[in-house]
Structure 1
């Protein structure tokens, strides 16, 4: 198969990948009764879902992002959509009184997404589930305090 055809097939697969992933994220964040618990779950989800190999988007970005501007642009759009979904949950957390009103939802969403991807990366190094879970919980404690004003 011609390299250009392979590249087009890959890009088609890459473009369709985030739809299901974002639907799952949207559902997981919305279905959790308390928004702050949904955000905490976000950090531990890769550990328990068996996705520590990383996702197609993250792996493709690492492998091809610097060489293929189309992959990089698609990755950026995908991560911005993920950030927006998480930011919506941050705003819900604020309205439920579990985060201060002055918290920047986009900034916190990006920090949570970066933390989650860091957990995935650490998992790829072979760290055990208990260590990864403890790390995710430590990150959650730093990013999502148990009580406002503590």
Structure 2
């Protein structure tokens, strides 16, 4: 009979997620994962599988949580246009987060070209994000704040590309004032009022 787990699975996933986020996949060793999780190799791999499966599980938890936060932020804004602008400006909202970047974006840059599982997760995540943002564009059009002539999906992809560009530039160490000015310019250019 298997023994019950003596650890909090969500806490372990958060700890290993943060390790992968801070160091990247390749630079994270089994010893790092054991250290941050507080688990031995047998317990860690017994519960989550090998390093790759553990990484994919942590990445999926991250993207699902981030997607839920985005859905809530977009839906709760009084005006859709304000929500769309906030989406573009999100990477500069916290200077320390701007340096850390986005785990999905970081992982896509590091692994997507060689890892079909990461590529699939990136596509799933970016498509879901595009759909959420496109729905918000439609709402902004209905509210009269964006022209009905713009294509919601293409606009959403442009906003996502702009936002992820800010994320990437933040990872390069560009100062927060410059990043913020760039994000504001992108938001104003991509989201002109009707």
Fold-level similarity (TM above 0.5):
yes
- Pair 1:21-2:72 in alignment: no
Residue ranges of structure 2 left out of the alignment (5+ in a row): 1-29, 31-40
1:18-53 CA-to-partner distances (Å, cap 9, x unmatched) read 111011101111111111011111111111134322
User: Are the counterparts in 2 of residues 87 and 108 from structure 1 also a CA contact under 8 Å?
Assistant: yes
Residue ranges of structure 1 left out of the alignment (5+ in a row): none
Task: Return the match for 2:117 from 49, 52, 70.
Answer: 70
1:41-81 CA-to-partner distances (Å, cap 9, x unmatched) read 11111111343222111111111101111110111001000
- Pair 1:51-2:97 in alignment: yes
| Higher mean displacement: 42-51 or 86-95 | 42-51
* Structure-1 separation of matches of 2:101 and 2:186: 19
Q: Secondary structure at the match of 1:30?
A: helix
Higher relative contact order (CA 8 A, sep 6+): 1
User: Are the counterparts in 2 of residues 61 and 75 from structure 1 also a CA contact under 8 Å?
Assistant: yes
Residues 1-150 of structure 1 aligned to structure 2 (within 5 Å)? 5-49=50-94, 50-52=96-98, 53-146=100-193, 148=194
1:76-129 CA-to-partner distances (Å, cap 9, x unmatched) read 001000110100100000000011112111100010001001111111222222
* Structure-2 separation of matches of 1:109 and 1:94: 13
User: Are the counterparts in 2 of residues 51 and 120 from structure 1 also a CA contact under 8 Å?
Assistant: no
User: Are the counterparts in 1 of residues 89 and 187 from structure 2 also a CA contact under 8 Å?
Assistant: no
Question: Aligned-residue CA RMSD in angstroms?
Answer: 1.7
* Structure-2 separation of matches of 1:15 and 1:120: 19
* Higher Rg: 2
